[in-house]
A and B are shown apart, each in its own frame.
Chain A
Amino acid sequence: IAGITQAPTSQILAAGRRMTLRCTQDMRHNAMYWYRQDLGLGLRLIHYSNTAGTTGKGEVPDGYSVSRANTDDFPLTLASAVPSQTSVYFCASSENAEDEQFFGPGTRLTVL
């Protein structure tokens, strides 16, 4: 693995289903982030983690949860997906909070 990866690349999901988006980085960065990007809007922060074992809520956290059991992984879970969660999701990491962020390739999620 080089850098930051996300899986799946894309997913179509029925409303009400549970879904976990995966994010892994091999840069030993302390901070990790989940964003969603919707047409006409800038990247919006869903959740973040400044260090392993800690997480925080961003601008649009409702309907999402995260965990940070170790430095490398930062999964994002939609407990019961709704159509308004149709979006492109980007994971990012930085050495520390306030540092330059590096982005994964994104996951395109469609909730029907």
Chain B
Amino acid sequence: KNEVEQSPQNLTAQEGEFITINCSYSVGISALHWLQQHPGGGIVSLFMLSSGKKKHGRLIATINIQEKHSSLHITASHPRDSAVYICAPVVGNQFYFGTGTSLTVIP
């Protein structure tokens, strides 16, 4: 079974701050999925990556397969970034979802 740990569990930041959310997992994976869950409950796919780094707007995701670790960075954070961020390592066709990091960005 793949153990998935996200840190921190909760995070409060001031608008404009640089934010990092970490995801560690215990078994070898083929890829990792980052998701965002809005306060209203909707879930949006942010990134799917298997190596290196991906960037989309103010969001950057990195992964180190050998160290079994991925990070999600948010630059120039904004209150609309307030959400739960979920990582999901992929083993074969199985997605293992973390419990998420709850981010609140204060104006």
* A98 CA / B97 CA spacing, docked (Å): 14
Q: Is the CB of B44 within 8 A of A103?
A: yes
Instruction: State in angstroms the CA–CA spacing of A43 and B45 once bound together.
Output: 14
Are B45 and A102 neighbours in the complex by a CB distance under 8 Å? yes
- Cα A35 to Cα B45 with chains together (Å): 15
Closest residue to B6 on the A side, CB-wise?
Answer: A42
In whole angstroms, what is the CA distance A102 to B96 when docked? 15
Q: Interface readout for A53-95 with B: 1 if CB under 8 Å, 0 if not?
A: 0000000000000000000000000000000000010101000
Looking at the complex, which of B12-20, B66-74, B75-83, B86-94 is the stretch in contact with chain A? B86-94
Return chain A residues, CB-CB under 8 Å to B92. Answer: 97-98
Q: Which A residues touch B35, using CB under 8 A?
A: 103
Contact of B41 among A40, A48, A88, A101 (CB under 8 A): A88
Instruction: Tell me whether B33 and A42 are in contact (CB under 8 A).
Output: no
* Interface magnitude class on chain A: 20 to 34
Instruction: Count residues of B near A (Cβ-Cβ below 8 Å).
Output: 23
Q: Which residues in window 25-48 of A have CB below 8 A to B?
A: 31, 35, 40-45, 48
- Secondary structure of the B contact surface, majority rule: strand
Majority-rule SS of A interface residues: loop
The CA of A39 and the CA of B93, in the complex, are separated in Å by: 25
Q: B99 near A41 (CB under 8 angstroms)?
A: yes
| Cross-chain contact B45 with A103 (CB below 8 angstroms) | yes
Decide: A105 and B42 in contact? CB cutoff 8 A. yes
| B93, closest chain A residue (CB) | A97
| A to B CB contacts below 8 Å, 23 in the list | A31-B93, A40-B99, A42-B86, A42-B96, A42-B100, A43-B88, A44-B97, A45-B95, A88-B41, A92-B43, A98-B30, A98-B92, A98-B93, A99-B48, A100-B48, A101-B33, A101-B45, A101-B95, A103-B35, A103-B42, A103-B43, A103-B44, A105-B41
- Show the binding face of A for B, using Cβ within 8 Å: 31, 35, 40-45, 48, 50, 88, 90, 92, 97-103, 105-106
